[in-house]
Chain A
Amino acid sequence: MKEKIRIASGQGFWGDRFDAPIDQVRKGPIDYLVLDYLAELTMSILQKKKMRNPALGYAEDFIAVMEEILPDIVEKDIKVITNAGGMNPFACRDAILQIAEKRQIKNLKIGVVYGDDITDRIDEFLDRGIALNHMETGEDLHTVRERVYSANVYFGAQPVVEALQADAQIVVTGRVTDTGLTLAPMMYEFGWSDTDYDKLSAGIIAGHAIECGAQSTGGNFLAGWKEVPNMAHIGFPIVEAYPTGEFVITKHENTGGLVDVRSVKEQLLYELGDPREYITPDVVADFTTIQLEQAGPNRVRVFGIKGKPPTDFYKVSISYSDGWTCIGHLTYGWPEALEKARKADEIIRQRIRDFGWEFEEIHTEFLGYNSIHGPLSHHIDEPNEVVLQIGVRGYNREHMERFSREMIPLVLCGPPTVTGFGSGRPKPKEVIAYWPALIPKKVVSPRVDVSSH
């Protein structure tokens, strides 16, 4: 058994820094590179892509990353684990194989974790009495059934461990939890069983600490953002994991950013629910047992973590179409910028009423004045400029299109000194809503395919 392993985060979301995984591989020693590309809404986007082109439906950015680093990881024997497979993990694997062929890399072993996509099985489950009701509201899925785009089960670390046991160097998954990607190599390397709840919980919390990339190494760091060195080349986090379940959050030495107890605390609290019940498919982790200690420059030691057995359910993420939104902007200048923006808002609202366009909601904000903190904002007497944002939401596509033509004419038809219309008419966007549900573990199983090419 290895004494420790180094697991590096290469991506916090689809759209994160392109060079982060490259730096992780080249700027210091690591054993594993994990890349998280999936957010709740990403799956529906990938499903749409797959419907248009059966060879797509995965996070294509990952392929661009592999173009760069495939030779490095083969040479250094670094294992890569990613949920970039999205709605089409086999197509993602095939795209990696094309790179391998081009680079004349032979005998590359790639594992694919699939079976999470239950889009085509929804009716089967409903017929069998597995309701898939909304987890929070209890609503019946039939109310939106016709508008469903995708349905995916969140699997845990177990199938990834299986792929590693079959000697895969790269593991591409569909919807595996972000935290499971980091837990899996610890289970595999240290031989943790699926009832070592305290250790599994530690692995999950390690995953939570690094799943959002640089958010634990000085990015979005409120307590001390001015102290963060070299943010232009911020180092992404690395977990140094030990067989006991203890771990250290750190980063490569020759990178920017910082790792201290404060930056790690901020990330641990990010997108947290009940801290005693952090439910994952592998274990229920208890965030109130976490102990932190600064163990050196850019090293935070994490220990004392406890966990409880997991539940009998997997979470399912269902996406469905829920109407349209359209959001437009115009910028009004000094003097009386706010008054001008308010007048423009009145005009738009009057025209919506006069033409009888139907919306579920009309929402106005004054950016630069009171947008993000709303009623908590303090008053500014005479702002230099104010950006008017008007958004509408509704189900009538035609009325949405009519609204989208309303903002820009105000440049000539409304209050004076207005700009910021350069990007043209605002485009209506489909609302992809998210329906969380639970499914008994016994009715769905992850599947694993590992093959050499």
Chain B
Amino acid sequence: MSSRFIGERLARVDAPDRVTGRAVYAADISLSGMLHGRVLRSPHAHAYIKKIDATRALALEGVKAVVTAADFPALKKGGVIARGEVELNLDHIRQVALAHGKVLYHGHAVAAVAATDPHIAEDALELIEVEYEPLLAVLDPEEAMKEDAPLVHPEQRTRTRDGTLDRPSNIAATYNVSRGDVEEGFQVADVVVEHTFRTRTVHQGYLEPMAAVARADPGGRITVWASTQGNFSLRSQLASVLELNSSQVKVVPVEIGGGFGGKLNSVLELPAVLLARRTGRPVKLVMSREEVLRATYPAPATAITVKAGATADGRLTAVKMRAVFDAGAFPIAPVVAAYLTSLAPYKIPHICLEGYEVVTNHPKIGALRAPGAPQGAFAVEGQMDLLAEKLDIDSLELRRRNATQEGEPMPVGRAFNRIGLQPLLERVAAHPSWTTPLKGPHRGRGLAVAFWPGAVMPSSCNLTLQDDGSFSLVVGSVDLTGTRTTMLQVAAQELGVHPSKISVSVGDTDSVGHTEVSGGSRITYTMSNAVNQACTRMLGLLRERAAAELEVDPQELEYDTGIFSSRVSQDKRLTLTDLGRQSLRRGGPVTATGAVARMQPAPAFSAHVVDVEVDMETGQVKLLNYTAFQDVGRAVNPTQVEGQIQGGAVQGIGWALMEGYQFSESGVLQNANLLDYKTPTATDVPFIDTVILEIPASDGPYGIRGVGETPIIPPLPALANAIHNATGVRIRELPMNPEALFHAMQGRGG
């Protein structure tokens, strides 16, 4: 079948509702008798909770309930939900929802109150009396690693490659991964560089603050409307913690206003459910922006030391990475991902990682678009530029000489399947963004390369032929980025009908098979496989129906654009409308499911080129030109692909130049608002030009690769490299804001 809808720039099906304000988000849900909740948060970064007395709050008119961690079912230790690449630790989910005996960061939830209106709930917070016994806060990961450091979790033991150590420590885990022998590699190197790169905690910056509405039926069934990236994952989290069957929890889809990895884990839903159970009434909880910044799941601060060696002719011989990740209050940080992704672009004989995942009294970290990769690339791509400078080799040429290809081993795991890095770099080399000379004072150009492996997780969909011959496609995935539209294109392509004959919606957790989170750049890649499967099954079923109706052999029928017709006798034909009508009389309605669990990964590479101009007196960086190259396998909807690449680049630009948590010495976030936690606006970035390469992935339909995460990675090192090119100063600490750059230029740092 010709490619009619794959590659078309279809307008997003959700766009009219979103831009006119009709789209319904979790905070828009209003139910009869609904109560409004607020969360009481810790004023300390680290303290024992000695006592919580809600008597006065409960006496306030309009207050219906106050809940604390004591309202959870008794905890069974060690509960973990395994989700392919991600493990969800139930204990941590519960403790983030409501602190258990100890507060672990400033803003940690301590209690939640439900009242007849949000202002009463707010007033009630002041009447909940909590007695704390403050403890020394553990804030600096390097300090936290020392043997005599105060402990965030006195019972925590370090997980290592060789088992668990028997001494308590803030180091949750160490990672020792290697290939070859780096010392040998450094011996044969002509140039060796070694520096430490530091990044701060940053937030995903999704526009829609977290929100949840919960209803608890007397029979024990729970219904939740939530701002989440995964309805099924949320269901699993709630069912596990509350000790219910999965089928007793229903998560109803609502639109989501951005997630970027920050809405994978439950935060507000558990307190909302506890309050709903206690009161017998629906309860809504909505975070303020301040709460979002203080008490959700930001991305980790890191200190990454990269020692890299190369021969005089520009062949990398060895890279050693030492990485310390500030995981915040609970373990799990993307340490290995930083190593894997940042070294993946290059053929390096000897590599090793010494990684540390350290808990501190900061909010628990979560995923942010390509978790770990931007921090790793900031270090490795910075060192690549320095090597190029020391070897007097063009920075693109150095990357071309070392670029990896199909069949080469990845830093961790198996060999690469089909990838497009080398053609991508050839494209950069020939492109005006790289070849046009940069004129003018204090201007510089920077380049960086990035990799993201892409995730594969279960996906399900249901396809139904309606009575009039139109189709309804229900997918299980939350639509973060326009995936309803791309799945519409896939279904139209496979069913051979116009997109106007198909409606696509996100199903609730009762109505479609388990579908994992929208994350890992994987929905278009994996769900298109499920939709493809459902369409094939649907056409198979319809062929049988048509054959029975027409009393011909199914093989005699051919199908084209909605019509089954006999190759033998021309008058024997049936349209989808005929089949839809007849299905109600004979055979019954026709439905088909698609379900996918495993596929090969579809790795994606990108390269960004940026030109900057630096105000030497103030340190302000102005972006002049920005071009993002990416191998996307196949662009199902080029407009959406471009949007993803542009959005990722802007997010990375913000991380590079502006964003960063500023904690006080007692662990209190000082910039918990969007004025002082700065993200770029449209006026801070130039038009992000995109260059799309389509080198088909090894697996899956159409050659699709994941797109969404890779583009956030290169801006950090590309901008650092451009600033160095403009000023001669290498910045190895983010954000590279005007004051930081000014001080660095004063000291001629680097």
Do A and B interact? no
